[in-house]
Structure formats: structure tokens, C-alpha cells
Chain A
Amino acid sequence: MTAWDDVRAAIDAKDPGRVMALVTKLDDAGRREVADALPGRLRELRAKAEWNVLERGFVEPLLLAGAGTIGGAAAAANWLCRRELEMWAWRRRHTGFDRDLAKVTAARPAEWRADVGRRIADRIRVADDRRESLWRMAATLTLSAGAEAPASDGFVVGWTVLADPSGLADDPFLDALVPRLFDADGVGGALADDEARLRWDRDRKSTWAEALAGLAAAGRLDRAALIDGCVSRFLRGGSPHDLRFFVRLHDRLDPAGDEAAARVRDHVRLLPSAPSTVADLALRQVRRADDLGRLDAGLFAEAADALAFRPEKKLVRTALAWLDRTARKRDRADATVRAITAVFVAEALDLRERAVKIAVKHAGRVDDATRETVRDAAAGLPADLRAAIAAAYGEVDGGAEPAPVPSGPPPFVPRALPAPIASLTELAEVFAAQRYTMFRWVETERFLAGLVEFAFADPSGTREALRPLADSLRGADGVLHPATDARRFWADHAVRALVEPAPGLITKVRDQLRHAARTGGPPLQRFLIRRKHELPALVGRVPALLAAPTEGSGHIAPMALVERIERYEAAGADPGRADFVQALLRLPRDEDTDAAVRAKRLTSKAGRTLALALAGPGGLPDPTVECGLVDEPLRTGTGRPLNLPPVGMVTVTSTRDVPSDLADLWEHTAKFTSRQNPGGTESWPALLPSHREVAAAHVLPHQIDEYEYASGQGATALALAAADGPAGAATATVLAYALGHKDARERADAVEAFLALSARGGLPAAETGTAVGALTRIDRLKPNRAVRSLSEAADAGAHADVWRVIAAALPALLPEPGTRAPSGLPDLVALGTRTAELVRARDAVPGLAEAAARGGSSRLVAEAARLHRVLTGP
């Protein structure tokens, strides 16, 4: 019996104790024999195992057998780190594996153990699920060899995660690894939850920051080295998350004045670009050094300049207070005032005011050069602040207030449609592409228009071009099922009718049509379904798709439609009813006399209808649209707002008779709740491109979503902006909701819609403001998000309209005495001040004077007072 037979039997018996006993007794030859046989045995065991996963019971015997026998350090480390021999953490603790590992390797040379430990440590990755098992093996071998701690970053990170901070004083790695805390990658991230961990980890009795500071206080660790370590880690930079632990540690160490002063240059260098938590800390240290008089003039100027340039308002405010308080005492009024002129261009009005106040206060102690700097910097200030500077520093140049830049919203650029499909090959490509990509309305219309044209001009060619791609079309029943939603399978329907026309298909369509019209769903969706089901009957029979838009907004150039009808008359074809109605709906509002004249020569019924539509202005009459939102949120008995329907009600009332096909669209009432999502409404405005408000009324019930999912609310608003026709409360409510949407993408689209409407002079500003107020009151809109959108619109040049929106929104938003203001309201008022200043508004805003006069130090009152001052100014 050889050595291997015994060891193998012990492994197969899953008996780690016996494996150890056998392995430790082996001689060199026996060890080599076992080591050579182990990989093969592992393979066999895996092959036998279910799912090829090694049974857990074999892991420890195999690991111990390898650790006790494998000769080379590299090979031993490889064996211990094998993925299939990974041990779960709880099992490792439970079985005392690390003790066994020390025992089974005790006879190997110390250098070998140290080498294996180092090699295992090198494999520890910062974010690795095996971190614990690898670290413990490396630590066990290193300690048993009495070697230095491994140098790898992963070993340091593992130490911070696994060692117990309350027992650090006796930790064997303490002296070796503490200096590495500050330069190993990943330590900051691993210790970021140092404090939080105390709350969920019952084994933790102390935080690392606390423990290290305690050891420094007891003289066990070098306090200066810890502070230096933190500072150098700050200088290396990183995210606030990665630096959080070091900020806490530095706070715990609480450097004394002398210690701060010794490192003041480093702290000053942190001020310009460190994360705000670190800059905050650095400012405190700099001030401490300053208190001892250890901040020289050069460093002070650097610090003051850096702080005035910080983007964080809080930091700038703290810095201003410091600069103000020490300017006279330290005799550095010049450097102070020069630095704070940088705050004159700050975004925040309160900071600007504060900076001006400080500049005025120290005016008497500065030299001529500084006075000139202040006068130059003051040129861009608003009139009242400029006057304050002028009183203290002399006449300020550039008296005229700067014109707003840009001076108006960017011009509206209508979207162009892609060129019509030019060849059969392209038609086939677009068809194939549609099946790989998401549904997009523009592309579907383009394909259908191309299909109808080619199927009429070259039926067999079109059939041949599409046939190879039509193999996988769904069965006839599926295609025509009326429940199929309005967005899908348009192309499949039409192509199927051409390529493999089933007997009775057209009749079947007509029957289904009747059913489709009866089934529920929003009127515009029913309208789309009617068009979809009519299409198979048109392919190959008519020369062109009448409803194919020629503009990005969805409009059809009148002349293009006249030409299409002429082609119908020449071919003796009858237009599809839904197709023709859609085409009429897509005629622009503007008159086109050339097209009207040419249309008079049309003879068919459709032609005469078209001629009539083109003859007079306006086309279809605009219905009246009313839109009401519920004023107060419904509440439970305990006063919690309820997210229950309805949110509002929208009514479309026809003023004149309209064709029966449009009755649904022109006479419509919908209560709207937050649970009606027909799957995207972006394409709907293009169905009614000349009746924006009607489209908005049909769209509105599907915009407001309880969970604020992004479902194209912004894109819908943008499509409404691209459409034409009067805009009122319905359009305004769609826009307002999208402006305050949770999703940044929707908001960006909404801002674009705002600018487009503003540029076209069609923005219902007052209604949008009212909707912002009403939606906020019923808890459907967060003003802080709307402020962000509105300030983007203002920055892009729509100051005037933004001001009108805010002026209309404020009366509903300013809180009654004793009630809480919605979050973001002070920012909205501040944006109001900014825009009102630019357009020199002098409107009266109901409730503003009362809010401004309320007194107290709240930010809302301060902002309201400032706006009130601007509005009642000369």
C-alpha cells in the first residue's frame, strides 16, 4: 500500500483529521507522490459529482492534503486558491480550518509558509467574494511563519474588513498595516461603512476610526503619522465615498492648533478641488492655523481665492464669515476684499448680497488698486448692489444693466422627415430592420407609404422582394385580432396581405373592423386601429397612402395631398375611409391657395371633399377644450394624502357638426386617474397636428403616472409643441407635468417643448403656471424638479415666459400662515427674481407681499422679500 492509497481513502471518507495525521507523517517521496496524484483525484471527484460541482465535504481534506504535500510555493498557493476548492466563510469558522492549516504546514520551512502566504495575499482582489477565505489563509500562513505582513493592497483591505477594531491593540498586523491604510487602493471604499457597520454587525464593538484614535491617544500608534496619512490620502484625491473614512478618522484625531499649523500648506492646497467634505475639513484646519497666526500672506491669498471659487454655497458662506471676521484683526483687508469680488458673479443671490456687504464694510481699509478691482467686478451686479458698491468705492463703470444673454428662446427648428423609400431593396431592408428595432412611428409611416406605392406600381417585384423576409410572419388570426394593440404589427399586417393573400382576408378585416371600433380604449387608439385594419385592403389597390405625412410635425403639404388624389382619380381607385380622414386631419391650418385652385379640378367624391376643406380657412372647426384638476388632494382620516382617482377631468365639446368619423375625437369626456397607460402617446399629436389642444386633451389622461414611470411624457409634450393650433389648459398641464417629471430625460424633452412653444409664441404660460400650482397642491408634482427645468429654459433665453409661468404658479404655492411650504419653493421664488429682474417685470403677485412681510429668518421669506423688492422697484 502506498502513501497515496491511505490519503486517498481518507479524502474519500471526507475525514480531514485523518488526512492531516497521514500527511504530516509522510517523507519527501510520499509527499511528492500525494502531491502528484491530487489534481487527478480532484478531476475524478468532480466528474463523479452532480452538476460537476465538488461535494463540500471533499474540500477540506483536499485543501489540507495539498497544503501538507505540494512542494513548490507557487503550486501550493495555486492549489489553495482553486475556485472549486473554495470554502464558505461560516464553514471555515465552524470547522476551525485555519487552525488545521497551520498544523498541517507546521513542518514545512518558514520561508515556504511565508512565500505561500504572500502569493495567496497577492490574489486577493478588493471586490471579491473569496476575499475572506483567501485573507484568512494568507494571514494564518504568514503568522505561523513569523513573516512580515504581505504587501498586497488586497491583504490590507481584507484586514480592514475582517480584523476586529476593538482588539486592534493586540493585532499582530497592526504596526505593519496601519501605514498601508493610507496608500492601499480600496481601503477607503471598504471602510466607508465603518460607522454604519457598528449598527448592523453585532460582532463589532468599535469603529476603526475610534480604535485607531484611541491607540494614538494611548501612545501605541504614532499620532503624527496617522494625521499625515489622512492628509496625504486627501491629497491623492478620490470620491467623497472613498475619503469618508479618512475624514472621520481625521475628525476623531482632532488635530490641535500646532498640528494643524504644521500641515497648513497641504490644507490650503486641498481647498480648490477636494470633495466638499474634505474641503470643509481643510478649511477648519486652515482657520485653526490662522487663529495661531501661522497662515502667511501668500497662503492666505491662495486660500481665500480658492474658497471664493468653490461651487458649494455652504462652503462659500462659511468662508465669507471667516474672511469678514478676520480681515481687520489680521490686517489683510486688501487680500480679503480682492478675493470676495469673485463671489460677485455667484449664482446665488444671497451670496452676492453678502459679498457686497463685506466689501462695503471694509472699504475704508483698502488701497487704491483694490478699490479699482472692486469697481471693475461690480459692473455686472444688479442695480441696488451696484449702488451700494458705488457709495463706498466710487462710481462704477458700465452702469447699464447687461442685456440678458441670450435675449430670447432659440428659434424653433421643425424636424425633417427622412426621405421616402426610393427602391425595393431599401423597402426590404427597412422591413427587416423594423423587426429588429423598437417601434417608431415615423419609420412605420415611412415604410407603409413605400409599401403602398411599390405594391401598386410593381406588385410582383414587391412581392418577390418581401417574400424572403415574410417567412416568419404570424398566423392570420393573430395578425387581425382586434385586441392587438395599436402600436404593433402594422408592417406585418400589410406585407402579409400582399405576399400571401388568404381567401376572404379582406372580408374578415371588415368584420374585425366593426368589432375593433366597438372595443374600448382611448379614442385615438381606436382611430389608429381602424387605420391599421383598413390597410391590408389598400395594399396593391391604391396608388399611394393618402395619410403619409410630409412634415416632421405630422402635417401633409396640401399640394402633395391634391397630387395623391389626382393619382387616385387617374387609377380609378377609391380611398380608404380612415386613410382619407387621417389625411384631412393632417392638413395644415394655413391656407394654400395654389393647392385650393388645383383641388377645384378634382372630380371624385374624395376630391370634392378635399377641395371643400382647402377652400376656406381653418378646415375643421376647433372644439372647446376644458381641463380641470382636482384642487385638493383626497385624504385619509389621519390626513395622509391619497393617490386616488380622479386627478382631473378633461372635456372636448364640438362647436359645429363634424364628420361622423371624428365624432369620437371631437366629443370626448374623460376623468383621468393615474392608471391609464396605453403604452406611449408620443405619436398621438402627429395624428392631430393642426389641433394641438384636442390632441393634448386626448393625451392628458395617460400622462400622469402614479409611480412616475417615464413613458414618453416629455416626448409627447415635444410633439405637441411641434404641432399647430391653439394651446390651452390641456397642453399646459401636459407640459407642466413633464417639466416636473422624475426622469431627467423626460424633463429635458419638456424643456425643449417649453422653448419650442415659447419661440413660436404659443406657450400657454399662465395656464402652465396654474397647472404647476395645482399639480403641486395635489401632490403630483415636485416643485424642486420643475425649478430645475424652468431655470434651464430661462438660461436658454425664455426668461419672459419663465417669469410668466412662475408669476402664475406662486399664488397657489405660497403657503398660508402656519402651513409648510412645498420643497423647492424658495428656489422657485429665486428663479422668479432672476427672471423678473431680466425682463424688468412689475407684475402684482397675489400673496407675495404677505409672504414677504411675514418676518423670521426662513429662506422663503428672504427670497419672497427680494422678489417683492424687484417687482415694486422703480
Chain B
Amino acid sequence: MDGGLLGLSTSGGTTGSGPRAHPHFFSGVLTQAAPAAAALIGLADVAQTRYHQPRPTGFRDPVVTCNGDRLRLESFSACGGVYARLDVLEAAMDGEVHERGTTNVDVNGPLREALARVGGSDPLHLAVGEEELAVTTLDGAVVEKKVPLPDRWLRGFAEVQVITAGFDPRAELTGHDAVRFLRSLRGRNHMWAVPAGRTLRLAPRPAPGAVCLAGADRLRTMLPLLRFARALRAYGPSVTTGSGPTASVWELELPGMRYVLTLSPERSRGFSGEGAVLDALATDEAAGDADLVGALLAFEPRVEPDLLAERSGLPLDRTKAALVQLGTSGRVGFDTAEAAFFHRELPYDPSRVAALNPRLRSAQALVEDGSVRFTGDGVAVVTTDGGERHVRFDGDGDAASCTCPWWYDHRGERGPCKHVLAARIVRRGASAEAVR
């Protein structure tokens, strides 16, 4: 880009110095206007697409976080199965940071049009505020009103962070190979991308080093960005030949920014129902630590656990556990590219996350009804409408299995079932009493 300018300033939302009426997070110029505009359209496309059982939707609100040296814009697909994030890095920003904080903006028709017109060396000015977003291009200004975010996004933010925190880089494709690979993707089948030479090969079965690609069409918002692409990186958990589907992270490197898509393990699975946070939610242990650590976060681009441990006076392992706990309410996100947490404050009440979770609610109802009965050490019978379910704990740990059909379908891949959760809550209560 020859000196392309994209001016961007955000205002409003939740900031480092507490909620304020009309603060400006950032105002300045993005040096890479065309890719930034194209990537913003990509985020909006993700937000309004229902990949599983497609039908028209109206959501299109990325969440913007200013972390000081970078801006992060995040959104979920309407089906909840794709999480998209655009990280605009320092190299692509030329301006002043007034404040750090989070808000959400609307990308609707007129704004899309304005963004699509950005190219070559055109300037573009964006202003994001508490209640509105203003975009100024060569053709004039567009002002958009903010709309409310769906609740399942909150659950999604929490799940994505917990799920991807354990991912490692698995493959890197440079320029032309990345273009070829992404353009060759067809269809909605569930595949595994296996590193092969300089590129990736799609195989029907997992192999060590492979990254799950559940529905190649869910990467299609990357296609319009290919002309700016410098590299494609894939992240995932370590898999073996017998692994089931997993989530995966796909990161497209653009000049001065990264466009990241996180895919759920299967097309039909939204992140909000993955249940990865349930283990953490069921405990109260880390909650106190999380409050302490949460108060120390200041919209850092990289949250350093060492530093936090020092400042909070907590041991390192408890600090890390507290970060995961904060993630369960969406207050920190995880950046696979830098393998680091970052701080954001979502425009929700974080304490609602527990109340939002239907499985946890059902489990608590089972406990309150007295449906959980321990018949032996590590074996519980949970009485439900559908008959008796047997929950078995492996040793002293929290790992457990159940005899309900849901468990057979998912084998813990989507978190514990309500019976296991209920048994766990009862067991913890019992051991706490025993200690007393």
C-alpha cells in the first residue's frame, strides 16, 4: 500500500479508568487502509452468517478492544461456531492512544459500502463511540447506532478462550501457498489438514500434527483478504490417529494486522455450548483470586502472569488459574499468535455467565432435589426422569464418566453432562464438610 491512510478513533465503552460517558480510546491513522477495511467487512460477514443451517440474520456487531499498542475487533458467527478476530498491530497504526477499553460497533449496509470503496491510497476515518460509530471516507461520513449483543456471545467468548489457551502452532504457509490452499478448499465436509511439504493436505482422518478443519466453507471470509495475505498459520491441540474433532485456529497474516478465525469442532456445534468452562465454573476456589487479579488488569495487550503474580502477591499457579477463571466470564481473551492472554471488558455483566449456562442450572437443580446419591467411593447414582444414571469418578480427580446417552454421544468432548456436574458439586460439598 502506497501510503494508504485509515484514520480510526474509538470512544465510549468501558475503559481502564472505569466506565465513562464519552472517552476516546484511540484516534489516529491506520497505515494500511485497504486490508483493514476488507478485514472489517470479513468480521461483519462472520457475524451475520449462520454456517450451520443457513438463513438470514441481522447480527453484525464486532466488539472492539483497545489494548494500548493494538486494536482488537472480535465477532461470532450467528450460529456460534466461528469466532473471528482482527488484531490491528502497532505497525499499522499511526496515532495516539488516549485510553484503553472495549466497546462494540455496528457494521451495516452503508458502512460496508463505505469500507468496500476504500482502496488504493484512499483515506478512511472511523470514530467508535458508546452509542454510535462514525466512518468518514472520500465520499462523506456514515454514522451508525449501536445495537445490543446476544447473550450467547458472552458464553462463546468464555469458551473460546478456555479452549484455545492450550493450542500450539501446527503449520505455516507463506504467500502463494496460503492463497493456493485457501482457494482449493471446497465443501462442508469435516476434514483434517495435515502438513505436507510447504502446504497442507486435507485428509479424512486425523494424524499426528494435523489440524481439524470442520467445514472449509467456514474459512471463506478469508478469500477476499488473500490479495493482502502474507502467511497462513494454523493452531490446534495435539492429536493422534484416534482423536475426535477438535477446535482449530486459522490466522491470516496481513500487512500490520492479523485476521484470525477460530472454528468449533463441528459445524453444528456453537462455542457457547462447548462446556469447557463448566469445570472452572463449578468451583468457588479460584473466584476470590480472580477478583483480585481482575482488579489488576489494565487492558494490557499481553497479560504477563509473572507480573500479575508479583503485583497480586499470589503464587504463579494460582494466578494462572485465576486468569482461566476470568476467561470464563470473557474478561480475558487468548491470542494464539503470541500465546498470551489479553484483557478486555465486555459490555455485559460478567456474573451472568454462570446463570446463563443451562447445564450448570440443571445440575444445581438436581443437587437441590437431592437426586444425587453416592453408593460407593467415586460412584454416584443420579435419579432423573429418564431413569437412573451412574456417574463414576476415576480416582480422586475430577475426571468422571456417566451412563446417560448424552455422555455416550460426546464422551466428555463437550464438557461434563449435568449428572457429572451434579455429582461433582455434591462430592465437593461432602469433602469440604469432612475437612471441617
In angstroms, Cα B205 to Cα A552, docked, is: 13
B24 in the interface (beta carbon within 8 A): no
Q: In the complex the two chains form, is A298's CB within 8 Å of B204's CB?
A: no
B223 in the interface (beta carbon within 8 A): yes
Q: In the complex the two chains form, is B56's CB within 8 Å of A745's CB?
A: no
A146 in the interface (beta carbon within 8 A): no
Q: In the complex the two chains form, is B204's CB within 8 Å of A714's CB?
A: yes
Interface of A is mostly: helix
**B-contact bits for A13-37, CB 8 A (1 contact / 0 none):** 0000000000000000000000000
**B-contact bits for A357-379, CB 8 A (1 contact / 0 none):** 00000000000000000000000
* Set of chain B residues within 8 Å of A269, measured between Cβ atoms: 116-119
In angstroms, Cα B120 to Cα A299, docked, is: 8
In angstroms, Cα B55 to Cα A532, docked, is: 48
Q: In the complex the two chains form, is A425's CB within 8 Å of B242's CB?
A: no
In angstroms, Cα B224 to Cα A237, docked, is: 11
- Contact for A272 among B184, B227, B401, CB less than 8 A: B227
Q: In the complex the two chains form, is B204's CB within 8 Å of A749's CB?
A: yes
Q: In residues 267-290 of chain A, which contact B (Cβ within 8 Å)?
A: 268-270, 272-273
- Decide yes or no: A425 and B392 within 8 Å by CB, A127-B56, A302-B120 being known contacts: yes
Q: In the complex the two chains form, is A432's CB within 8 Å of B408's CB?
A: yes
**Central interface residue in A270, A416, A795, by most chain B CB within 10 Å:** A795
Q: In the complex the two chains form, is A410's CB within 8 Å of B117's CB?
A: no
* Set of chain A residues within 8 Å of B403, measured between Cβ atoms: 429, 432
A266 in the interface (beta carbon within 8 A): yes
Q: In the complex the two chains form, is B197's CB within 8 Å of A407's CB?
A: yes
**Central interface residue in B45, B183, B199, B408, by most chain A CB within 10 Å:** B408
Comparing B93-101, B186-194, B271-279, the segment that makes contact with chain A is B186-194
- Decide yes or no: A744 and B408 within 8 Å by CB, A309-B227, A416-B241, A752-B203 being known contacts: no
Q: In the complex the two chains form, is A235's CB within 8 Å of B183's CB?
A: no
**B-contact bits for A475-490, CB 8 A (1 contact / 0 none):** 0000000000000000
* Set of chain B residues within 8 Å of A642, measured between Cβ atoms: none
A126 in the interface (beta carbon within 8 A): yes
* Set of chain B residues within 8 Å of A751, measured between Cβ atoms: 203
- Contact for A418 among B110, B116, B197, B242, CB less than 8 A: B242
* Set of chain A residues within 8 Å of B347, measured between Cβ atoms: none
Q: In the complex the two chains form, is A795's CB within 8 Å of B201's CB?
A: yes
* Set of chain A residues within 8 Å of B121, measured between Cβ atoms: 298
Chain A: minimal CB distance from B253 (Å): 17
* Set of chain A residues within 8 Å of B242, measured between Cβ atoms: 415-416, 418
A185 in the interface (beta carbon within 8 A): yes
Q: In the complex the two chains form, is B56's CB within 8 Å of A236's CB?
A: no
A607 in the interface (beta carbon within 8 A): no
B207 in the interface (beta carbon within 8 A): yes
A573 in the interface (beta carbon within 8 A): no
**A-contact bits for B158-194, CB 8 A (1 contact / 0 none):** 0000000000000000001000100110110101001
A222 in the interface (beta carbon within 8 A): no
A196 in the interface (beta carbon within 8 A): no
In angstroms, Cα B120 to Cα A39, docked, is: 62
Q: In the complex the two chains form, is B112's CB within 8 Å of A235's CB?
A: yes
Chain B: minimal CB distance from A581 (Å): 29
For B112, the closest partner residue in chain A by CB is A236
In angstroms, Cα B203 to Cα A745, docked, is: 10
Chain A: minimal CB distance from B254 (Å): 14
In angstroms, Cα B186 to Cα A745, docked, is: 12
B428 in the interface (beta carbon within 8 A): no
In angstroms, Cα B109 to Cα A426, docked, is: 56
Chain A: minimal CB distance from B377 (Å): 13
**Central interface residue in B191, B199, B205, B409, by most chain A CB within 10 Å:** B205
Q: In the complex the two chains form, is B116's CB within 8 Å of A236's CB?
A: yes
**A-contact bits for B106-124, CB 8 A (1 contact / 0 none):** 0001101100111111000
Q: In the complex the two chains form, is A345's CB within 8 Å of B203's CB?
A: no
Q: In the complex the two chains form, is A413's CB within 8 Å of B207's CB?
A: yes
B240 in the interface (beta carbon within 8 A): yes
* Set of chain A residues within 8 Å of B187, measured between Cβ atoms: 744
- Decide yes or no: A748 and B204 within 8 Å by CB, A236-B116, A432-B408, A436-B408 being known contacts: yes
Q: In the complex the two chains form, is B113's CB within 8 Å of A236's CB?
A: yes
Q: In the complex the two chains form, is A413's CB within 8 Å of B204's CB?
A: no
* Set of chain A residues within 8 Å of B110, measured between Cβ atoms: 183
**B-contact bits for A240-278, CB 8 A (1 contact / 0 none):** 000000000000000000000000011011101100000
**Central interface residue in A407, A714, A752, A797, by most chain B CB within 10 Å:** A752
Chain B: minimal CB distance from A28 (Å): 39
Chain B: minimal CB distance from A239 (Å): 10
A588 in the interface (beta carbon within 8 A): no
For B188, the closest partner residue in chain A by CB is A744
Q: In the complex the two chains form, is B196's CB within 8 Å of A183's CB?
A: no
Q: In the complex the two chains form, is A235's CB within 8 Å of B56's CB?
A: no
Q: In the complex the two chains form, is A437's CB within 8 Å of B408's CB?
A: yes
**Central interface residue in B187, B201, B208, B408, by most chain A CB within 10 Å:** B201
B6 in the interface (beta carbon within 8 A): no
- Contact for B56 among A186, A298, A792, CB less than 8 A: A186
A400 in the interface (beta carbon within 8 A): no
A845 in the interface (beta carbon within 8 A): no
Q: In the complex the two chains form, is A272's CB within 8 Å of B201's CB?
A: no
A107 in the interface (beta carbon within 8 A): no
A790 in the interface (beta carbon within 8 A): no
Q: In the complex the two chains form, is B241's CB within 8 Å of A235's CB?
A: no
Q: In the complex the two chains form, is A745's CB within 8 Å of B204's CB?
A: yes
B22 in the interface (beta carbon within 8 A): no
For B113, the closest partner residue in chain A by CB is A235
Q: In the complex the two chains form, is A237's CB within 8 Å of B117's CB?
A: no
* Set of chain B residues within 8 Å of A126, measured between Cβ atoms: 56
**Central interface residue in A273, A425, A751, by most chain B CB within 10 Å:** A273
Q: In the complex the two chains form, is B197's CB within 8 Å of A797's CB?
A: yes
In angstroms, Cα B120 to Cα A718, docked, is: 50
For A714, the closest partner residue in chain B by CB is B204
* Set of chain A residues within 8 Å of B409, measured between Cβ atoms: 436-437
A433 in the interface (beta carbon within 8 A): yes
Chain B: minimal CB distance from A495 (Å): 16
- Contact for A232 among B55, B113, B227, CB less than 8 A: B113
Q: In the complex the two chains form, is B241's CB within 8 Å of A797's CB?
A: no
- Contact for B119 among A302, A405, A748, A792, CB less than 8 A: A302
* Set of chain B residues within 8 Å of A268, measured between Cβ atoms: 119
A846 in the interface (beta carbon within 8 A): no
A406 in the interface (beta carbon within 8 A): yes
* Set of chain B residues within 8 Å of A406, measured between Cβ atoms: 196-198
Chain A: minimal CB distance from B183 (Å): 5
**Central interface residue in A236, A425, A718, by most chain B CB within 10 Å:** A236
For A380, the closest partner residue in chain B by CB is B176
- Contact for A748 among B116, B117, B202, B408, CB less than 8 A: B202
In angstroms, Cα B119 to Cα A306, docked, is: 11
* Set of chain B residues within 8 Å of A748, measured between Cβ atoms: 189, 191, 202-204
* Set of chain A residues within 8 Å of B226, measured between Cβ atoms: 309
- Decide yes or no: A796 and B201 within 8 Å by CB, A268-B119, A416-B242, A432-B403 being known contacts: yes
B36 in the interface (beta carbon within 8 A): no
* Set of chain B residues within 8 Å of A72, measured between Cβ atoms: none
Q: In residues 530-572 of chain A, which contact B (Cβ within 8 Å)?
A: 552
Q: In residues 388-428 of chain B, which contact A (Cβ within 8 Å)?
A: 392, 401, 403, 405, 408-409
Chain A: minimal CB distance from B218 (Å): 15
| Nearest 9 interchain pairs by C-beta | A406-B197, A273-B224, A235-B116, A405-B197, A748-B204, A796-B201, A433-B408, A436-B408, A235-B113
Sample of 14 A–B contacts (CB below 8 Å): A236-B109, A273-B227, A302-B119, A306-B227, A309-B227, A311-B183, A347-B180, A413-B207, A416-B241, A418-B242, A437-B408, A744-B187, A792-B202, A795-B199
Inter-chain pairs besides A185-B56, A413-B207, 7 sampled, C-beta below 8 Å: A235-B116, A269-B117, A269-B118, A406-B196, A410-B207, A792-B202, A797-B196
Residues of A within 8 A of B (CB): 126-127, 183, 185-186, 189, 232, 235-237, 265-266, 268-270, 272-273, 298-299, 302, 305-306, 309, 311, 345, 347, 405-407, 410, 413, 415-416, 418, 425, 429, 432-433, 436-437, 552, 714, 718, 744-745, 748-749, 751-752, 792, 795-797
